Chains A and B, each alone.
Chain A
């Protein structure tokens, strides 16, 4: 095996690079590949499509079962977990063809950097911002989207007053942790403290943001029902059941396709408002990245593949096929993106991103945030009790991390 050279490998059938991609991305990524094959005839890629809902489990199971793909797409919040497992190889930018890290939005690139090393390359970005019905906002007396929390609150009250009791100003899905976390990051909250060893949710910034969030429901500005109740977000948005909707880029395409044509010029997007005088307010650096399995036997080809998919030209083409927003700034200069006015709000938002704590336990902590936010919204717990319970749960979740850090320090 050791004597096998790159030259021999290209004729062997197992020189095929195995790639896992999720959902829609998995369906269309193959259409980008002919150009790669033209440039590098020695590379063969086999794309395996994985459903999003099972992707996280499948990656972990594949790692345990020693059947990892050479290249895989992953939600960038999963990266710390896979790095802790030793499942991904570090990216060395100097050996990647045509890779210019300065061209990435810094916030999104940062999610892929853990302990000083780069572990994956951002493929596309998923941040959240305001989708809103511009006609309903105008009826309530406002022509521009809110730039501050105060203005936002004022508008929501006006909309609620104008629309009546069976209409709401905003829709914030209760089964998502993102909205309270975004608001907290905007207030400058450090979600965890002392090298991410303890929860910091009873701290003042998080508490203030959490209060603001819960208040939206208590004042009847947002419906306190789970996702399951707004069975069809799209028809409700079309019917004007709510005006503001904090969501991500996948809904650009969904809303375009599902709303009646007459509504097309009556909804648009805006960056997040902010609690202070900066604008736009911070949002989450979400999205998908491309990583290479640490134990891959086709490292050179795998690296070529992700360098190729990261090229601005391929990112623009990928945007055309999926609507996924590119992670590289050059790609945003293309006509395809400049003509999409609703995407422009995302471009602005992408300048103000922060990532969540980069530790393997984050998803569990996020799940707890969602749980306690929901209970506070429903009035099961007071804000104080919910935050205290959240900190207590996070203390238990991080016990192993504290032990590992202590052990490392002791040698």
Chain B
């Protein structure tokens, strides 16, 4: 206690000292308008780039979403109409938007946790000390992440083939009826989720392994001495200490999964019967296939609002959990 008080006092006097110095010898920098301080000049190139390539396009897109910009407007800009909220109203009344939102939510809610859980399981496996050839397994699990999606899609389409596919071959061997994976609206999204999880889990796995390795071994030793088994060690040591990494991984996965596009684009083109149509795929179709840029930007901002809300919700939940007794 004694030491703390003297510490505080010396800090206070330090502050006073510096204030006094400022009063006698005013620094030339602090008298300039704040906009001309050196920090501003250092940040300027980065700010300019951000303004040119982010702020301006986003503002332009926002303006665009209040117009009916389309192929006719490209030909003759006089046909451009300011429609205010009409695109957003049309969005709300468009059944395809709700289908896309439902499909995207399905993908995020089922695929996201599944992906994170798979990553965590793989990370824990690769982090055990008994395992040999860790580098080899890490590389193998990471390979799908760096493989081109188009090549992956070709292989998975064979796996999913209803008559000759390996998956249905296995099902038949177990005595199940064959499933038309990509052709049946009920199974197309699970098939896309399965492929996406397989393709993506390696990336989160690497991050989680790093998180696991930063947990000091002594906590586990102490827990073992106290008689904690594997499950309790996981629950009371691994999970709490992994929380920051875990939080980062879940947020990034959720944001990434909301932007589902490439998988259905190459595997199903949104079919069968729109069962794998995602919001980004809808946006792409409206924008770059039909050139309804006004409507497409409205979809983009709706998606932005949804992702922002979901992220804030997740922040809120994690803050509640972080509070003691919460």
CB-CB < 8 A to A175: which residues of B?
269, 271
Q: Which of A183-191, A321-329, A331-339, A370-378 contacts B (4 or more CB under 8 A)?
A: A370-378
Q: Which of B106-114, B130-138, B154-162 contacts A (4 or more CB under 8 A)?
A: B154-162
Q: Are A378 and B273 in contact (CB under 8 A)?
A: yes
Complex CA distance for A197 and B290, rounded to whole angstroms: 18
Q: Which of B7-15, B66-74, B204-212 contacts A (4 or more CB under 8 A)?
A: B66-74
Residue on B nearest A374 in the bound complex, by CB: B273
Q: Are A229 and B162 in contact (CB under 8 A)?
A: yes
Complex CA distance for A360 and B183, rounded to whole angstroms: 31
Option from A174, A225, A389, A400 in Cβ contact (under 8 Å) with B70: A400
Chain B residues 263-283 with CB under 8 Å of chain A are 267-269, 271-274
- Size category of the binding interface on chain A: 20 to 34
Q: Is the C-beta of A404 less than 8 angstroms from some C-beta in chain B?
A: yes
Min CB–CB distance B262 → chain A (angstroms): 15
Min CB–CB distance B169 → chain A (angstroms): 14
Q: Are A229 and B68 in contact (CB under 8 A)?
A: no
Min CB–CB distance A36 → chain B (angstroms): 32
CB-CB < 8 A to B185: which residues of A?
378, 380
Chain B residues 141-171 with CB under 8 Å of chain A are 157-158, 161-162, 164
Q: Is the C-beta of B318 less than 8 angstroms from some C-beta in chain A?
A: no
Complex CA distance for A371 and B273, rounded to whole angstroms: 6
Min CB–CB distance A408 → chain B (angstroms): 11
Min CB–CB distance B278 → chain A (angstroms): 16
Complex CA distance for A328 and B109, rounded to whole angstroms: 57
Complex CA distance for A400 and B68, rounded to whole angstroms: 9
Q: Are A228 and B267 in contact (CB under 8 A)?
A: yes
Which of B183, B185, B290 has the most A CB atoms < 10 Å from its CB? B183
Q: Is the C-beta of B193 less than 8 angstroms from some C-beta in chain A?
A: no
Q: Are A371 and B274 in contact (CB under 8 A)?
A: yes
Q: Is the C-beta of B246 less than 8 angstroms from some C-beta in chain A?
A: no
Residue on B nearest A86 in the bound complex, by CB: B75
Q: Is the C-beta of B3 less than 8 angstroms from some C-beta in chain A?
A: no
Residue on A nearest B165 in the bound complex, by CB: A231
Q: Are B71 and A360 in contact (CB under 8 A)?
A: yes
Q: Are B74 and A225 in contact (CB under 8 A)?
A: no
Which of A81, A86, A225, A226 has the most B CB atoms < 10 Å from its CB? A226
Complex CA distance for A403 and B274, rounded to whole angstroms: 30
Chain B residues 238-277 with CB under 8 Å of chain A are 267-269, 271-274
CB-CB < 8 A to A57: which residues of B?
288-289
Chain A residues 35-92 with CB under 8 Å of chain B are 56-57, 60, 63-64, 81, 84-86
Q: Mark A358-383, 1 if CB is under 8 A from B, else 0.
A: 00100110000001001100101000
Residue on A nearest B277 in the bound complex, by CB: A371
Complex CA distance for A179 and B75, rounded to whole angstroms: 32
Q: Is the C-beta of A396 less than 8 angstroms from some C-beta in chain B?
A: yes
Number of interface residues of B (CB under 8 A): 31
CB-CB < 8 A to A380: which residues of B?
185, 273
Min CB–CB distance A377 → chain B (angstroms): 9
CB-CB < 8 A to A400: which residues of B?
68, 70, 72, 79
Min CB–CB distance B215 → chain A (angstroms): 45
Complex CA distance for A303 and B162, rounded to whole angstroms: 51
Complex CA distance for A57 and B71, rounded to whole angstroms: 12
Min CB–CB distance A222 → chain B (angstroms): 13
Q: Are B268 and A60 in contact (CB under 8 A)?
A: no
Option from B74, B182, B271, B290 in Cβ contact (under 8 Å) with A374: B271
Q: Are A229 and B71 in contact (CB under 8 A)?
A: no
Residue on B nearest A229 in the bound complex, by CB: B183
Min CB–CB distance A359 → chain B (angstroms): 11
Complex CA distance for A378 and B275, rounded to whole angstroms: 12
Q: Are A404 and B161 in contact (CB under 8 A)?
A: no
CB-CB < 8 A to B71: which residues of A?
60, 81, 84-85, 360
Q: Are B70 and A231 in contact (CB under 8 A)?
A: no
Complex CA distance for A380 and B271, rounded to whole angstroms: 14
Complex CA distance for A225 and B161, rounded to whole angstroms: 11
CB-CB < 8 A to A231: which residues of B?
157-158, 161, 164
Complex CA distance for A389 and B158, rounded to whole angstroms: 35
CB-CB < 8 A to A56: which residues of B?
289
A-B pairs, top 4 by smallest CB distance, nearest first, are A225-B183, A229-B183, A85-B75, A228-B182
10 A-B contacts, Cβ less than 8 Å apart? A57-B288, A57-B289, A60-B74, A85-B74, A225-B272, A228-B271, A229-B183, A380-B273, A400-B68, A404-B72
On B, residues with C-beta under 8 Å from A are 68, 70-72, 74-76, 79, 81, 90, 95, 157-158, 161-162, 164, 180, 182-183, 185, 267-269, 271-274, 288-291
Known contacts A64-B74, A371-B273; can you find 11 more A-B pairs with CB under 8 A? A57-B289, A60-B71, A84-B72, A85-B71, A226-B272, A229-B180, A229-B183, A231-B158, A374-B271, A378-B272, A400-B70
